[in-house]
Chains A and B, each alone.
Chain A
């Protein structure tokens, strides 16, 4: 075995013995990856429950929820949600989902676990930094949860009020009010701007700043690991597309998060230190002229926020694209169509992603000439996205598809990515933004493309790599039922939202009727759609129990998985399930070929492992007939 000759030279770190070093403060990228996934699975549950509460309030305003009345007596008196309570749900739902789900699981979770293994490394370049990035992120999460209670609860709010005016909370909401974008001056002025602008908003900013630091540490680690720690023979163009996706994502994160961090610090200073980066002079609130601020620009925040915020969209979706490409090729039993084009398209999306942030600001008061430039650049980004779709379809053409659960979710990803992404052609145009901006059309667009498609990427990734991570298969039947309900469910939720947007329904409205009277007549026609979407959302949300049950049940009771249950080709499938502490048990794998060698004519099996030498292939084809498992030589 030529590949194994140098195993004696390899530096091996011993697996830690104590529980705390092994599972809590672990330096092992695999444990850290799972920690990130568990964090995301916790956050997504909170975010999901919040979204259902919002739907209930939109469809049936005034409904009594006794449990809410108990938990948040001021925000939901007698269990009836107040508008400020609803808006804080909007804010926390968005923040949880964008930061603690869509940024953590695809990159920090799956990337952490599989990037080192797929490139043949024994760990990340900086294991300690890796541990730090998770724990910093977790602190950010704890601070965010604190923001809920410091605003929502008088008692908890009281603990912090001693710190000064900026930490006065207890408004009765479940957190700050600002959406995930927190536009100043609303977010900058403090309690005078209304409920949800006190301590909760300060903690929200601190939480996001901490999150930025955690993501930066992670990004540095990913880039260094990928560039320096690839095993012998693993040239860049032999890497699985997942690695390209995680790499591109890390570059985006490295360039985007510092800008949000800086913006967050400036906003925090405006709130606490009397600076005026985002607060102009002459502000009047509740008949009081604010004399302590002048000269700031609210639009400056929007530039800083969206300079981060748009690349963030790609940070959420690129790893899903990587996983989808990888999984489609594996279960199509066919090489990926246009590997190079996929790599270039990914980099094209990443690069262009930094020049389109202004499309969030067409009507913000920004120069209309900049708007025109941003609009044309925005529609250009559709081109690499179209290349990717074309290549996914090309990969399926002439395939022999195996409909496993990961494959179903990967196909679902393609369908949803098209459905959600294509309406970017509408929203990217300056003139069409006049009717569409801040309506449900926007909600529909980004939920489909960066929310649901990205989540489908994660479901695909989870069911695909579960046997590698836990040594057992997830239950196929439960997985399939979960897929069918979720796939139909998300279409039923988000396609009608486009129509609501065309009717003109604005986002972030706590309710559309009050005391049985509609507030805006132009929204009335949307009413049946609003109720339909709520029912679809409840059904889809409840169906997610299947996933959670399947996950935890399969860890203990799932069918045992071998090394390579999917007959896949990349390095993670050449080692044990789960892999040993140093990933390859002291062996340094050597790579001889590209990552997607399926259906190679004349080869003994319909897949060739990246580690298989030509000599091994030749000896196999003499002796075996062709459909054998474990066609690699370990």
Chain B
């Protein structure tokens, strides 16, 4: 029994490690400036996790293999109440490793969240509602028109105030179109319940909370079309709350933004069809 259990623990450990190391399943390739650092930190952590996991399981398997009681053996177990020195060494070592990981992991967090978006970032207002993403672009004037929740309706998804001159060239689309290699600042809002903005290759996720305008920034580094998912339970059709992010070369993006709202919209519709979805 002891030997079988020891071997089983080792096999389950081996299976788990192989599944992680197979290379068949992993993150989608990253497309943001901070993505590679997140991936490196993940690798560092998963190596610590893997070593600790394997060491503990191998030791456990070894103990149940080796220290089983055998019939006829009348000798007793080792009489020991522990070893304070080992205990202290172990505690100090784990504390150093674990807390170092936490501290190193803050770097990329700080870079994203402790400083604001750099000046000249491309800005989009994101307004989520149940099962739909709305992206509000400032238009040629680069200024967002005033919005008011009381104006929101099926034909005015973010509640743009038509009496505000700045709102005339604004566009509201279901697709997020961003320039490559230029910082992007998103202002995240929700009009109903909490949603979460999740684009796996961007390595970025942020909740959109009703009553709050949350400012976030990142820099995409690769062109293409990507899927956007909602990652916070928002009701019945949560799983269908899909959107798309199109990342364009900067000149192409600038030309697109110079179009009047209706042409902008139809051009994005074409791009949605033309650019294959990367994943």
- Chain A residues at the B interface, C-beta cutoff of 8 Å: 83-84, 87, 177-179, 183, 185-186, 189, 193-197, 279-285, 287, 289, 296-299, 332-341, 363-365, 368-369, 371-372, 375-376, 378-380, 382-383, 386-387, 389-391, 393-394, 396-403, 408, 411, 414-415, 418-419, 422-423, 425-426, 428-435, 437-439, 480, 484, 487-488, 491, 495-496, 498-499, 502-504, 506-512, 514, 519-522, 524-526, 529, 598-601, 606, 626-627
Q: How far is the CA of A371 from the CA of B110 in the complex (A)?
A: 10
| Per-residue A-contact encoding for B3-47, CB less than 8 Å = 1, 0 else | 001001100100110011000111110000000011001100110
Q: Which 4 A-B pairs have the closest CB atoms?
A: A280-B211, A398-B78, A368-B113, A338-B82
- With A364-B207, A396-B67, A428-B102 in contact, do A391 and B94 touch (Cβ < 8 Å)? no
Contact A283 B60 (CB under 8 A): no
Among B146-154, B160-168, B171-179, B265-273, the stretch in contact with A: B146-154
B73 within 8 A of A: yes
Chain B contacts for A626, CB-based, 8 A: 74
| Complex: A598 Cα to B79 Cα, angstroms | 7
Question: Could you tell me if A393 and B60 are in contact, using CB atoms closer than 8 angstroms?
Answer: yes
Name the contact of B227 in the complex, choosing from A408, A425, A514, A522 (C-beta under 8 A). A522
Q: Is B259 at the interface (CB under 8 A from chain A)? A: no
Chain B residues 34-85 with CB under 8 Å of chain A are 37-38, 41-42, 45-46, 48-49, 52-53, 56-57, 59-60, 63-64, 67-69, 73-84
In the complex, whether B196 has a CB less than 8 A from a CB of chain A is yes
Interface stretch, picked from B117-125, B135-143, B228-236, is: B228-236
Residue B186 interfacial (CB < 8 Å): no
**B87 close to A390 (CB less than 8 A):** yes
Q: Does A503 lie within 8 Å of B26, measured CB to CB?
A: yes
Q: Is the CB of A418 within 8 A of B56?
A: yes
Q: Report B77-110 residues with CB < 8 Å from chain A CB.
A: 77-84, 86-87, 90-91, 94-95, 98-99, 101-103, 105-110
> Do B236 and A84 touch (CB < 8 A)?
yes
Closest A residue to B69 by CB, please name it. Answer: A400
Task: State in angstroms the CA–CA spacing of A606 and B194 once bound together.
Answer: 60
Contact with A along B234-273 (1 / 0, CB 8 A): 1111111010000000000000000000000000000000
A–B Cβ pairs within 8 angstroms, 6 of them? A299-B209, A383-B95, A415-B12, A426-B46, A498-B20, A504-B229
Q: Which B residues are in CB contact (< 8 Å) with A512? A: 239
B63 touches A511 (CB 8 A): no
A408 to B9, CA, bound (A): 11
Q: A193-B235, A400-B77 are in contact. Are A431 and B106 (CB under 8 A)?
A: yes
- CB of B223 closer than 8 Å to a CB of A: no
The listed residue with most A CB atoms (<10 A of its CB), out of B8, B37, B110, B207, is B207
B235–A502 touching, CB < 8 Å: no
On whether A422 and B53 interact (CB within 8 A), knowing A390-B90, A396-B67, the answer reads yes
Do A403 and B45 touch (CB < 8 A)?
Answer: no
* Complex Cα gap A574–B80 (Å): 24
Per the bound structure, the CA–CA distance linking A423 and B98 in Å amounts to 12
Question: Does residue B129 face the partner (Cβ distance < 8 Å to A)?
Answer: yes
In the complex, are the beta carbons of B53 and A419 less than 8 A apart? yes
- Complexed CA–CA distance, A521 and B38 (Å): 22
Taking the closest CB of chain A, its distance from the CB of B152, in whole angstroms, is 5
Asked if B103 and A371 sit within 8 Å, CB to CB, the answer is: no
B149 touches A282 (CB 8 A): yes
Pairwise interchain contact A397-B239, C-beta atoms closer than 8 A: no
Q: Least Cβ distance of A169 to chain B in Å? A: 15
Q: Is the CB of B210 within 8 A of A298?
A: yes
B181 touches A (CB below 8 Å): no
Which residues does chain A contribute within 8 Å of B242, judged by CB atoms? 519-520
Q: Are B229 and A506 in contact (CB under 8 A)?
A: yes
Contact A337 B109 (CB under 8 A): no
| Chain B residues with CB under 8 A of A508 | 233, 238
- Once the chains bind, are A400 and B67 in contact (CB under 8 Å)? yes
Complex contact B77–A332 (CB within 8 A)? yes
- A365-B207, A429-B45 known; A419 and B26 CB under 8 Å? no
Q: Which residues of the partner chain A approach B57 to less than 8 Å between Cβ atoms? A: 415, 418-419
Q: Are A341 and B207 in contact (CB under 8 A)?
A: no
**Do A426 and B42 touch across chains, with their CB atoms under 8 A apart?**
yes
Is B275's CB within 8 Å of the partner chain A? Answer: no
Interface string of B173-216 (1 = CB under 8 A from A): 00000000000000000011110101011011111011110100
Q: State in angstroms the CA–CA spacing of A529 and B26 once bound together.
A: 13
B76 CB contacts on chain A under 8 angstroms: 333, 400, 598-599, 601, 606
**Alpha-carbon distance A402/B68, docked complex (angstroms):** 7
Q: Once the chains bind, are B19 and A499 in contact (CB under 8 Å)?
A: yes
The smallest C-beta distance from B89 to any residue of chain A, in angstroms, reads: 10
Given A185-B194, A282-B191, A298-B211, output 18 extra A-B contacts at Cβ < 8 Å.
Answer: A193-B192, A194-B130, A280-B210, A283-B149, A287-B152, A334-B80, A338-B83, A365-B212, A376-B99, A380-B102, A390-B86, A394-B86, A401-B63, A411-B60, A425-B98, A438-B231, A439-B231, A499-B19
B203–A435 touching, CB < 8 Å: yes
Complex alpha-carbon distance, A283 and B159, angstroms: 12
Q: Are A338 and B81 in contact (CB under 8 A)?
A: yes
- The residue in chain B whose Cβ has the minimal distance to the Cβ of A529 is B25
B237 touches A83 (CB 8 A): yes
Chain A residues with CB below 8 A from B152, complex form: 284, 287, 289
Interchain CB contact (< 8 A) of B109 among A386, A422, A431: A431
CA distance A503 to B198 in the complex (A): 13
| Docked-complex contact A627 and B74, CB < 8 angstroms | yes
- Asked, given contacts A368-B113, A372-B109, A520-B242, whether A341 binds B87 with beta carbons under 8 Å apart, the answer is yes
Q: A185 near B192 (CB under 8 angstroms)?
A: yes
Q: Report yes or no: A186 in contact with B235, Cβ–Cβ below 8 A.
A: yes
Q: How far is the CA of A601 from the CA of B2 in the complex (A)?
A: 25
B101 CB, min distance to chain A CBs, angstroms: 6
Partner of B108, one of A363, A426, A431, A491: A431
A341 to B201, CA, bound (A): 44
Residues from chain B with a CB closer than 8 A to the CB of A387 are 87, 90-91, 94
- On whether the beta carbons of A363 and B205 are closer than 8 Å, the reply is yes
**Inside 8 A of A378's CB, which chain B residues have their CB?**
102
Complex Cα–Cα for A138 and B48 (A): 44
- Nearest A residue to B193 via CB reads A186
Contact (Cβ within 8 A) A599 B205: no
Docked CA distance A185–B91 (Å): 43
Q: How far is the CB of A282 from chain B (nearest CB, A)?
A: 4
Whether B203 contacts A403 by the Cβ 8 Å rule is: no
Minimum distance in angstroms from A14 CB to a CB of chain B: 42
What's the least CB distance linking B187 to chain A, in Å? 12
Contact of A400 among B75, B99, B129 (CB under 8 A): B75
Complex: how many Å from CA A425 to CA B52? Answer: 11
Query: Of A183, A186, A432, A484, which is within 8 A of B105 by CB?
Result: A432
